[in-house]
């Protein structure tokens, strides 16, 4: 049977996070932090044998950098802020993975970003968000990083922004192998032209699943510009009350790169001012399957100047104000690459009760 002999940081290590006894431990030791530490001013690389349990009023006061070996080396309540000061608490064991709670760094957007940065330094892991509403300033953006899972607690985790936004709530730029899951985002009817979640740069292998998005210009926006976005999965999300629920493609008419290898599966989309799924210009190898798309202001699915190798399979597209599916070219576009949809498969969909056509394909000479 393993026995543990926790020791107090205050009694044995002079309340200092850079004490040589912590950086040079030769055997595993669990240190109890029950009060505010002395301010760490420099950089302290703690031994892989140093474990911390933060209790009561314990806080690590950091103005420099504290490198803890891995997330498993800290035990603390999820919503307890264990770090104060302008410095950095991060993890140094690359590939160790693990789970950190954003509440350890604070209750707002700064705490979320610090948690992402901390575990990113160790090669990635899971950032667990609390079961609460978190206020996001109109100018605030969370930047996701590679090999990170940003995980909420379902409908109990709400990222809420009030006012006219100046950027996305969550930006995924040049990110590889990341997941966003089990959280809600609400922008309270903001109409600024941003996605709540935006994918840009050379991002690839990204999954967004089991989330709810509501109110704003776009829920999820893949915005290629001078880099290719690829291998994106949007699965089992709810999106409502947007101009466009899912927007694929850059709004720049001269975009040279593309979004490719995209899967939109099992989502529930409703109550948009424009199209439920808007595919614009630079999109190839797209699967839209088993979605429910209802009550959109124009079209359920719109392929505008775009869509090469697109499969639309097994969706229910109903009660939209114009067409269920609308495919249109635009020979006036500035890019010769993105003039019209081609190699399209439309199979086994239920298309009903749309106010105009179920499927409409526009030809260059404006005949149908």
Q: Which of 58-62, 300-304, 364-368 has the weakest average pLDDT?
A: 364-368
Look up residue 95 and give its two tokens. 């590939």
Under the banding of pLDDT at 50, 70 and 90, the label for residue 94 is confident
| Partners of residue 204 on adjacent β-strands | 176, 230
Q: Which CATH architecture has domain 130-368?
A: 3 Solenoid (2.160)
Residue 332 neighbours by CB distance under 10 Å: 8
**Over residues 332-357, mean pLDDT:** 81
At 367 the pLDDT is 46
Over residues 135-149, the pLDDT tens digits come to 999 999 999 999 999
Look up residue 299 and give its two tokens. 């079209």
**Over residues 35-41, mean pLDDT:** 95
Contact indicator for 365, 328 with CB cutoff of 8 Å: no
**Over residues 10-26, mean pLDDT:** 86
Which residue from 212, 213, 208, 179 is spatially nearest to 196, judged by alpha carbons?
213
Report d(CA 114, CA 92) in Å as an integer: 15
Question: Domain map of the chain by residue range?
Answer: 1-128, 130-368
| Partners of residue 34 on adjacent β-strands | none
At 67 the pLDDT is 95
Report d(CA 13, CA 352) in Å as an integer: 71
At 301 the pLDDT is 98
CA angle 37, 109, 38 (to 5 degrees): 10
**Over residues 348-359, mean pLDDT:** 97
Give pTM, 2 decimals: 0.94
As a whole number of Å, the CA-based R_g of the chain is: 24
Q: Which ranges of the chain does DSSP label H, i.e. alpha helix? A: 9-13, 20-23, 109-120
Concatenated DSSP letters of 136-176: E-TT--EE--TTEEEE--GGG-EEEE-S--SS-SEEEES-E
Q: Which of 19-23, 130-134, 145-149 has the weakest average pLDDT?
A: 19-23
**Over residues 103-115, mean pLDDT:** 96
Question: Percent of the chain, pLDDT > 90?
Answer: 75
Q: Of 223-227, 251-255, 293-297, where does the model show the most confidence?
A: 293-297
Report d(CA 324, CA 317) in Å as an integer: 6
User: 113 in helix, strand or coil?
Assistant: helix
Report d(CA 45, CA 66) in Å as an integer: 6
| Partners of residue 195 on adjacent β-strands | 218
Report d(CA 214, CA 5) in Å as an integer: 50
Average pLDDT value over all residues in the chain: 91
Tokens 């829920």 locate to 219
Residue 257 has pLDDT above 90, yes or no: no
User: 224 in helix, strand or coil?
Assistant: coil
Q: Backbone phi, then psi, for 286, in 5-degree steps?
A: -120, 130
Over residues 187-234, the pLDDT tens digits come to 986 778 999 999 999 999 999 999 999 999 999 999 988 889 999 999
Under the banding of pLDDT at 50, 70 and 90, the label for residue 162 is confident
Which residue from 197, 184, 177 is spatially nearest to 248, judged by alpha carbons?
197
Contact indicator for 229, 202 with CB cutoff of 8 Å: yes
b/e code 58-86 from CB counts within 10 Å (16+ = b): bbbbbebbbbbbbbbbbebeeeebbbbbe
List the beta strands (DSSP E) in 188-237: 195-200, 204-209, 212-222, 229-235
At 368 the pLDDT is 44
């Amino acid at each position: 049977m393993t026995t543990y002999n926790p020791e107090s940081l205050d009694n044995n290590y002079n309340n200092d996070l850079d004490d040589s006894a912590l950086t040079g431990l030769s055997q595993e030791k669990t240190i109890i932090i029950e009060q505010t530490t002395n301010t760490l001013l420099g950089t302290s690389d703690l031994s892989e044998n140093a474990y911390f349990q933060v209790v009561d009023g314990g806080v690590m006061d950091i103005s420099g950098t504290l490198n803890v070996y891995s997330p498993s080396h800290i035990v603390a309540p999820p919503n307890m802020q264990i770090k104060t000061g302008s410095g950095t608490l991060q993890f140094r064991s690359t590939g160790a993975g693990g789970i950190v709670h954003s509440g350890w760094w604070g209750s707002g957007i700064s705490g979320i970003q610090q948690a992402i940065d901390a575990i990113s330094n160790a090669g990635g892991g899971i950032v667990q968000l609390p079961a609460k509403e978190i206020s996001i300033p109109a100018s605030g953006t969370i930047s996701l990083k590679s090999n990170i899972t940003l995980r909420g607690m379902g409908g109990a985790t709400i990222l809420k922004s009030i006012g006219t936004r100046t950027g996305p709530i969550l930006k995924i730029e040049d990110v590889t192998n990341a997941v966003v899951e089990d959280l809600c985002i609400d922008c309270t009817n903001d109409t600024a032209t941003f996605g709540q979640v935006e994918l840009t740069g050379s991002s690839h292998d990204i999954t967004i699943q089991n989330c709810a998005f509501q109110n704003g210009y776009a829920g999820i926006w893949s915005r290629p510009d001078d880099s290719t976005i690829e291998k994106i999965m949007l699965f089992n999300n709810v999106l409502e009350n947007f101009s466009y629920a899912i927007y694929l493609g850059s709004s720049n008419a001269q975009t040279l790169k593309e979004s490719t290898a995209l899967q939109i599966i099992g989502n529930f989309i409703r109550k948009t001012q424009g199209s439920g799924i808007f595919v614009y210009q630079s999109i190839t190898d797209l699967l839209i399957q088993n979605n429910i798309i209802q009550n959109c202001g124009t079209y359920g699915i719109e392929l505008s100047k775009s869509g090469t190798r697109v499969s639309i399979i097994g969706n229910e597209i109903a009660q939209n104000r114009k067409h269920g599916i609308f495919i249109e070219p635009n020979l006036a576009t500035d890019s010769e690459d993105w003039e019209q949809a081609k190699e399209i498969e439309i199979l086994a969909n239920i298309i009903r009760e749309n106010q105009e056509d179920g499927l409409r394909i526009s030809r260059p000479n404006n005949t149908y």
